[in-house]
């Protein structure tokens, strides 16, 4: 039973990693590629590390595996967000089939601020 669960988690993790690689090659623009690589890879690594933790069954290995999962879950989305923001600011083109750009005309590139979002100190000084 232990081996079946390990193989199942490894298979799921491998499928997510494969889907991530396919999305990275097949999607038409940077933003879609980042979405595929970040989400699918994060889930793939999570399943692979859970398989390692389950297979070895030692507290030290399980702790390290879960710390890897936690690190990837915390850093991958934040890193992807920062890369996407930098790409948008520098003018990386969207795919021609993109239906709408929610940031068009609302993002102040000079100050890196979004219009219509109150700053923390502005709300407190209202009379």
pLDDT (tens place) for every residue of the chain, 127 residues total: 889 999 999 999 999 999 999 999 999 988 889 988 898 889 999 999 999 999 999 999 999 999 999 999 999 999 998 998 888 888 888 888 888 887 777 777 777 777 766 666 655 555 5
Neighbours of 109 (CB within 10 A): 10
φ/ψ of 114, rounded to 5, equals: -95, 130
pLDDT of residue 126: 54
pLDDT of residue 122: 58
Can you give the pTM of this predicted structure? 0.75
pLDDT of residue 47: 95
Number of domain units in the chain: 1
Answer for the pair 65, 53: CB distance below 8 angstroms, yes or no. Answer: yes
Can you tell me the distance from the alpha carbon of 31 to that of 35, in angstroms, rounded to the nearest whole number? Answer: 6
Can you tell me the distance from the alpha carbon of 42 to that of 34, in angstroms, rounded to the nearest whole number? Answer: 12
pLDDT of residue 104: 77
DSSP label at residue 108 = E
Q: Could you give the residue ranges of the DSSP H alpha helices within the chain? A: 2-26, 30-56, 59-90, 120-124
pLDDT of residue 1: 87
Can you tell me the distance from the alpha carbon of 15 to that of 12, in angstroms, rounded to the nearest whole number? Answer: 5
Residue-range definition of the domain harbouring residue 55: 2-124
pLDDT of residue 113: 77
pLDDT of residue 121: 66
């Amino acid at each position: 039973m232990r081996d079946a669960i390990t193989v199942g988690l490894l298979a799921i993790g491998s499928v997510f990693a494969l889907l991530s690689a396919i999305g990275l090659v097949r999607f038409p623009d940077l933003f879609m590629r980042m979405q595929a690589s970040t989400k699918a890879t994060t889930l793939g690594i999570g399943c692979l590390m859970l398989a390692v933790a389950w297979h070895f069954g030692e507290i030290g290995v399980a702790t390290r595996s879960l710390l890897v999962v936690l690190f990837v879950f915390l850093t991958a989305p934040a890193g992807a967000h920062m890369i996407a923001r930098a790409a948008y600011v520098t003018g990386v083109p969207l795919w021609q089939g993109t239906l709408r750009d929610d940031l068009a005309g609302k993002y102040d590139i000079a100050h890196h601020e979004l219009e219509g979002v109150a700053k923390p100190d502005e709300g407190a000084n209202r009379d």
